[in-house]
Amino acid sequence: MIKTRKVLSVLLCTAATVYTLWYMHFGVPYKNSGALSKIGLEHRILFTIWGVLTYTALTMGIKLAFEKTEHKRLYIPFSVISGTGMLLTLANEFDYDKKLQYYLHCTGSLLFSAVTGICIFLLFFLLRKKDKVYLIFCVTAGVILIVDLICLLIFKETGLIEALPIFAGYILLTVTNLRRDRVEIRR
């Protein structure tokens, strides 16, 4: 059962990565016009598919990875809040002329990205003493969150700034879920 879930998680992350890269071709990734939500204004259905696939891939990867911790269910409130954020993002247009929808969309986007990023950072923080690789992943996740926030403040929204932490999440979670942790034998 675990092996099946690992394979499904890897396939979801792979599909989400390929789909995101394909979806980003509708805009210029390093410009505001390439922001995933901006592209979604013209391609609502494709944007919805992207959002559902991204949320599902990250949540499944997070769920599996949290099974390696002593806090196996800690991810649940994060996933609920993150999912609510994604729903707000997908249900409301990123249109400046529709103020309420615009603010709900931005609130949802922030909830999804921040809460998912914090959850992944927390995961590796909890695992950091288990193996050095998790300490490296913890630092990596923290640096990506900080650098991405700084880039967002400086350059505003671009497809690359939005996608970088998502791709990092796919990679870190996939590596974590495919790893075999060392088992300590006590005598």
- Per-residue pLDDT tens digits of the chain, which is 187 residues long: 668 999 999 999 999 999 999 999 999 988 888 899 999 999 999 999 999 999 999 999 999 999 999 999 999 999 999 999 999 999 999 988 999 999 999 999 999 999 999 999 999 999 999 999 999 999 999 999 999 999 989 988 888 999 999 999 999 999 999 998 665 555 5
Nearest to 48 by CA among 12, 22, 86, 81: 86
The reply to whether 53 falls in a domain is: yes
Nearest by Cα to 49 from 67, 36, 63: 36
Please name the residues in contact with 102: beta carbons below 8 A apart, sequence gap of 6 or more: 92, 93, 94, 95, 96
The SS3 of residue 140 is: helix
Give domain status of residue 134, yes or no.
yes
Token pair 């590796």: residue: 124
Residue 52 inside a domain? The answer is: yes
Amino acid identity of residue 80, one-letter, is: V
Burial of 142 (0-12, 13-18, 19+ CB in 10 A): middle
- Which residue type, as a one-letter code, is found at position 185? I
Full residue range of the structural domain in which residue 18 is found: 2-79+110-178
Residue with tokens 């990092």: 168
Query: Scanning the structure block, which residue is given the tokens 């690789």?
Result: 133
Residue 39 included in any domain:
yes
Largest CA distance in the chain: 68
Count of other CB atoms within 10 angstroms of residue 49: 14
The total of structural domains in the chain comes to 1
Q: What's the pLDDT tens digit per position in 138-162?
A: 999 999 999 999 998 998 888 899 9
Intra-chain end-to-end CA distance of the chain, in Å: 30
Domain assignment present for 37 = yes
- The pTM is what? 0.92
- Residue-level length of the chain: 187
> 127 in a domain, yes or no?
yes
Question: For residue 101, is it within any domain?
Answer: no
